[in-house]
């Protein structure tokens, strides 16, 4: 398992590198080292806020976590705990679905898709009238949702607006 650590507005010291290796490396006991190709860690400092983002690519599954605090080491601890919880939830979900095997995320063949553990419980269909981004945000807020799918009146493409953790809004514009 290879851990790549990058710094934004911070120099990645050997002490930080070792601490990240120690904390994030503990996840190796839950993940098969042969399947975990890369772990990307980004350390960033924005004023007094220390942010840690970790992305783990594990053959078809992506685990991602982000934490912020006033101390970089505390942020690393919190993000490692969050990732450990994600991996545990994933393992439990696989076990509940009847896949009683050792946790190993692998490339799935077409036969495995027949036993897909993800079931669609509800399908929603609705007419999408063209609207601008501001109207879509207003509609999303009126419905009390965290995201809203709409047809952009300017581009005539399907877009998604969503509410970010900091209260701002994001726009997803798919490219084909």
Q: Per residue in 89-135, pLDDT tens?
A: 877 777 776 644 444 544 444 444 445 667 888 888 877 889 999 99
Per the structure, the count of domains in the chain is: 2
- pLDDT, averaged across the chain: 81
58 and 93 belong to one structural domain:
yes
Q: What's the whole-model pTM score?
A: 0.57
101 and 17 belong to one structural domain:
yes
109 and 137 belong to one structural domain:
no
108 and 136 belong to one structural domain:
no
107 and 139 belong to one structural domain:
no
* Residue-range definition of the domain harbouring residue 14: 2-114
The answer for 147, left when phi > 0, alpha when psi is -120 to 50, beta otherwise, is beta
29 and 83 belong to one structural domain:
yes
Place of tokens 């970790």: 54
Residue 122 lies in a domain: no
Residue 7 lies in a domain: yes
pLDDT of residue 169: 95
pLDDT of residue 96: 73
Exposure b/e, 115-131, CB count within 10 A at least 16 = b: eeeeeeeeeeeeeeeeb
Write down which residue in 66, 82, 114 finishes a domain. 114
Residue 63 lies in a domain: yes
16 and 71 belong to one structural domain:
yes
Residue 125 lies in a domain: no
pLDDT of residue 170: 95
- Measure the CA–CA gap between 157 and 65, rounded to whole angstroms: 30
Closest listed residue to residue 50, CA positions, set 9, 15, 21, 4:
9
List the 130-131 sheet strands across, edge first: 130-131, 147-152, 158-163, 169-172
Give the ranges where 10-128 is alpha helix by DSSP (H): 14-25, 72-96, 110-114
13 and 88 belong to one structural domain:
yes
Q: What stretches in the chain show pLDDT beneath 50?
A: 99-103, 105-114
- Measure the CA–CA gap between 40 and 55, rounded to whole angstroms: 5
The proportion of the chain whose per-residue pLDDT surpasses 90, expressed as a percent, equals 31
47 and 98 belong to one structural domain:
yes
51 and 99 belong to one structural domain:
yes
- Looking at the DSSP bridge assignments, the partners of residue 46 are 49
Closest listed residue to residue 34, CA positions, set 55, 54, 59, 56:
59
6 and 82 belong to one structural domain:
yes
- Kindly give the interhelix angle for 14-25 and 72-96, rounded to the nearest 10 degrees: 20
């Amino acid at each position: 398992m290879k851990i790549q650590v990058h710094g934004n507005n911070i120099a990645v010291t050997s002490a930080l590198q070792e601490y990240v290796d120690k904390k994030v490396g503990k996840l190796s006991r839950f993940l098969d080292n042969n399947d975990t190709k890369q772990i990307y860690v980004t350390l960033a400092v924005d004023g007094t806020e220390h942010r840690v983002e970790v992305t783990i690519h594990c053959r078809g599954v992506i685990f991602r976590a982000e934490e912020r605090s006033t101390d970089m080491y505390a942020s690393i601890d919190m993000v490692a705990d969050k990732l450990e919880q994600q991996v545990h939830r994933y393992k439990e979900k696989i076990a509940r679905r009847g896949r009683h095997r050792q946790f190993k995320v692998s490339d799935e063949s077409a036969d495995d898709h027949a036993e897909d553990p993800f079931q669609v419980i509800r399908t929603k269909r609705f007419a999408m009238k063209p609207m601008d981004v501001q109207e879509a945000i207003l509609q999303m807020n009126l419905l009390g949702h965290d995201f809203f799918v709409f047809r952009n009146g300017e581009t005539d493409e399907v877009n998604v607006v969503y509410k970010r953790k900091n209260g701002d809004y994001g726009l997803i514009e798919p490219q084909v």
